[in-house]
Amino acid sequence: MSDKIFIFDTTLRDGEQVPGCQLNTIEKIEVARTLEALGVDVIEAGFPVSSPGDFNSVVEISKAVSNPIICALTRAVEKDIDVAAEALKFAKRGRIHTGIGTSPYHIKSKLNSNPDEILDRAVRAVKYAKRYVEDVEFYAEDAGRSDNEYLARVVEAVIKAGATVINIPDTTGYCLPGEYGAKIKYLMENVSNVHKAILSTHCHNDLGMATANSLSGVLNGARQVEVTVNGIGERAGNTALEEVVMAIKTHHGLPFHTNINSQGIFDASRLVSSLMNMPVQANKAIVGRNAFAHSSGIHQDGVLKNRENYEIIDPVDVGIKESAIVLTARSGRAALNHHLSQMGYTLTKEQLDDTYNRFLVVADQKKNLSEKDLSELMGDANDLQKSVELELLQVVSGKSTLPMAIVHLKIKGVSCAATAEGNGPIDACFNAVKKLIEQEFTLGEFLVQALTRGSNDLGKVHVQVEHKGRVHYGFGANVDIITASVEALADALSKII
């Protein structure tokens, strides 16, 4: 049996079903090209019969990417399959993904049918799709709650009809890992022609076990895993691409590999988060802001001595430059000394002890300490004022108006101004700021949060700026979210200048 695990990405189909996260065709093409660069084997580009927009997206994605298989979803309905085939006509390698529900819930209450009729419809759908493409994937919807013996009958029949991939979805996220793995194992042992097709996992995260179930499926014979970037998707989401890929890569004892270029994971995560307006939770595995951040003194000391003491993944392997040592009241002397040495301070043991005692007093009053706080702690009067301060901001924006911003900054006590245009009011403001700042910097993260409720919300903005290999954070809060954004950027740039 092959040890390669095929990565089937459904960010643009199942992932896009999240309310409020729909993408236009241009955005979908951008995501598809990123997935291609990442190395995914299959891109499920949409459900063509569902809307003209979905149909057009499948067409354009088929033209835009060359290496991955482009897959289109259908129901076990001839019209669906006809439309999918038409949408895939430009694909270098096209796949039709058709199927039907196989659980008692779906057969009786959703489809108002019986097991024999469902089996017949499944076979007819596969044979019909086979008229258009050689590569046909069949999904047994709600397989997680389907009877194993009946599921095996359906799988055997659709493979005989020509299905090349069999998707075993835990549609409702119901299964436990052992239960789902046993289901895959049962099919491997009881479907006589299973060697003629690839079994695929498609797990949802309703009980928080999508990744565990997917890996259990792989351990029991599945060779394709259906995933989304950041684990987005219906309800609680789908199996996260980054979690499966890094679990396989990290566990060297597993005899599996994928084609994923893991160093592109973080950038792909941020792109999907930005385009779909879905912030990644801070403690999200692999790609969350805190995934490689350490604030406990014991952990910080261990990481500074040897990263592998507390990190099983090198952040560089997923496209993050370095771990973050965050200064809080739980931090120890090693972390404090690490930050101070980066700022150019060299302390004796006695000086460090004295500074640490004063540090704890300040840290108990703040959630975390910045370089400005450390400068004040060290008595550096030159850093008591921010190097970059916002003096004036004027923005013109609207439906029929090209966004334009006038920004006045005080940089090291000298006032200066710039005007710039942008794709939106915040982009225009940031472009104006870039004109005033001599240093090269890259905006790594931009996060907006509402602190209160109502139309007069107080908004908090968090930005992450990279300069010469180092990451600096900035924060701003204001009822005007554009002002808060510029203040957050100014805060971050102060730490550079």
Binding-site positions for Mn(2+): 14, 202, 204, 238
Q: CB of 433 within 8 A of CB of 388?
A: no
Annotated binding site: 14, 202, 204, 238
Q: CB of 442 within 8 A of CB of 465?
A: yes
Q: CB of 252 within 8 A of CB of 217?
A: no
Of 73, 14, 11, the C-alpha closest to 48 is 73
Question: Can you tell me the distance from the alpha carbon of 280 to that of 269, in angstroms, rounded to the nearest whole number?
Answer: 8
Which residue shows structure tokens 């951008």? 30
Query: Sign of dihedral through CA atoms 490, 494, 496, 497?
Result: positive
State the DSSP code for 114: -
Token pair belonging to 66: 């060359």
Cβ atoms < 10 Å from Cβ of 119: 18
Cβ burial of 252 (10 Å; 0-12, 13-18, 19+) is exposed
What is the per-residue burial (b if ≥16 Cβ within 10 Å, else e) of 397-424?
eeeeeebbbbbbbbbeeeeeebebebee
DSSP per-residue string spanning 224-250: EEEEBGGG--STT-B-BHHHHHHHHHH
Q: CB of 327 within 8 A of CB of 360?
A: no
Number of helices and strands (H, E) in the chain? Answer: 16, 16
Alpha helices in 220-370 (DSSP H): 241-250, 265-275, 297-305, 333-342, 349-363
Question: Can you tell me the distance from the alpha carbon of 307 to that of 321, in angstroms, rounded to the nearest whole number?
Answer: 13
Under 8 Å CB-to-CB from 141, ≥6 apart: which residues?
99, 100, 101, 102, 103, 106, 169, 171
Q: CB of 143 within 8 A of CB of 178?
A: no
Question: Can you tell me the distance from the alpha carbon of 478 to that of 461, in angstroms, rounded to the nearest whole number?
Answer: 9
Distances, alpha carbon 45 to alpha carbons 64, 93, 133, 480, 485, in Å: 12, 13, 16, 38, 34
What is the per-residue burial (b if ≥16 Cβ within 10 Å, else e) of 430-443?
bbbbbebbeeebee
